[in-house]
Amino acid sequence: MLNGAVIMKEILREVGMIARSLDSISNIEFKQYDLTRGQYLYLVRICEHPGMIQEKLAEMIKVDRTTAARAIQKLEINGFIEKNEDQHNKKIKRLIPTEKGQAVYPLIKRENDYSNSVALSGFSGSEAETLVKLLQRVRSNVEKDWEYVKKGNKRDY
């Protein structure tokens, strides 16, 4: 039996270890496609939601606006995506994958799927499902605080 104190620290640390491991692996494996650190994160989302703007992408990934801005800038320079201007709104730029970007997408997807299958090896279908649902709830809880703190507010505890 696990007591509360153990759970307290473990969730956060386990998640951190898992995320860093998987991110590190992906970054190493995507170098062969000329994607530098972190870029795959943005590219997959742009491919899945073409026309998205970078502000929303940053929120989706949970990364600083300026970090996203530069990652996206680089994706554009290297020909993976385009920034298209909007008909009705002069301020926003809609992000669209190029042919090159679309060609890389399935390779990223395949790697991510494989990493997921590794992560879930030994899991039954229902265990995997339970985990996804619990994680989605955690994410929903956590993202509220993230936005709150990111905006300069102070949490009270």
Residues binding DNA (CB under 7 A): 20, 24, 27-28, 36-39, 53-56, 63-67, 69-74, 83, 88-93, 150
- Do 85 and 93 touch, CB atoms closer than 8 A? yes
If one asks whether residue 141 binds a copy of itself (CB under 8 A), the answer comes out as yes
Q: Choose the one of a copy of itself, DNA, none that binds residue 135, judging by a C-beta under 5 to 8 angstroms depending on kind.
A: a copy of itself
If one asks whether residue 69 binds a copy of itself (CB under 8 A), the answer comes out as no
Q: Choose the one of DNA, a copy of itself, none that binds residue 15, judging by a C-beta under 5 to 8 angstroms depending on kind.
A: a copy of itself
Integer-rounded Cα radius of gyration of the chain: 18
If one asks whether residue 137 binds a copy of itself (CB under 8 A), the answer comes out as yes
Q: How far is the CB of 142 from a copy of itself (least distance, A)?
A: 5
d(CA 79, CA 132): 34
If one asks whether residue 70 binds a copy of itself (CB under 8 A), the answer comes out as no
Residue ranges binding a copy of itself (CB under 8 A)? 2, 4, 6-12, 14-25, 28-29, 41, 61-64, 109-123, 125, 127-139, 141-143, 145-146, 149-150, 155, 157
